[in-house]
Structure 1
């Protein structure tokens, strides 16, 4: 089967969109407190101590004021800005 240039361009655009959307969906996955790594680090989505939370941790990669953001400990998963874990380190 011989593909035309038009088919190639359509398939290329569809593939690029799929990759872009896949990365966005994965980046938005939240860490669950029942996740094995979260359990090992004693992660909680709402900290009992307001002065120590993910938003003011050195490992937090989210934007200031955001409800959630990335953490270098949890890969592509996001943590709650008001969360906490035993690896907390002052920013």
Structure 2
């Protein structure tokens, strides 16, 4: 005999797994929509020599001409987020010493 309850459970479970990525996309977008800007005086910002204005970074030893948050591999242009500064957005025209060129 076939157990109909088990079949219904499996179908609902598979449907839930198929829909999960769509729901997570919406939740992720809303979660990052209102991130506060990173304070340059925050300890993690100071540790990476973050500055919201790339013009002030030119004197730093690790600075490379043309580098800024907007062309860094870590920067997410859609949210302004940087994983190095979790929970905060950074200025696209900013810079820090962890800058890595976007491929």
Tell me the TM-score normalized by structure 2: 0.56
Q: Tell me what 1:59 maps to.
A: 74
Question: 1:86 corresponds to which residue?
Answer: 97
Q: Secondary structure at the match of 1:70?
A: coil
Is the aligned partner of 1:42 residue 2:49?
yes
- Residue matched to 2:39: 32
Higher strand share: 1
Distance apart, 1:28 and its partner CA: 2.1
Q: Flag the structure with higher helix content.
A: 2
Normalization by structure 1: what TM-score? 0.63
Measure how far apart 1:37 and its partner are: 0.1
Cα distance in 2, alignment partners of residues 72 and 44 from structure 1 = 16
- After superposing on structure 2, the runs of 4+ consecutive aligned residues of structure 1 that deviate more than 2 Å are 22-25
Deviation of residue 24 (structure 1)? 5.6
Q: CA-atom RMSD, angstroms?
A: 2.5
Structure 1 distance, partners of 2:85, 2:42, is 10
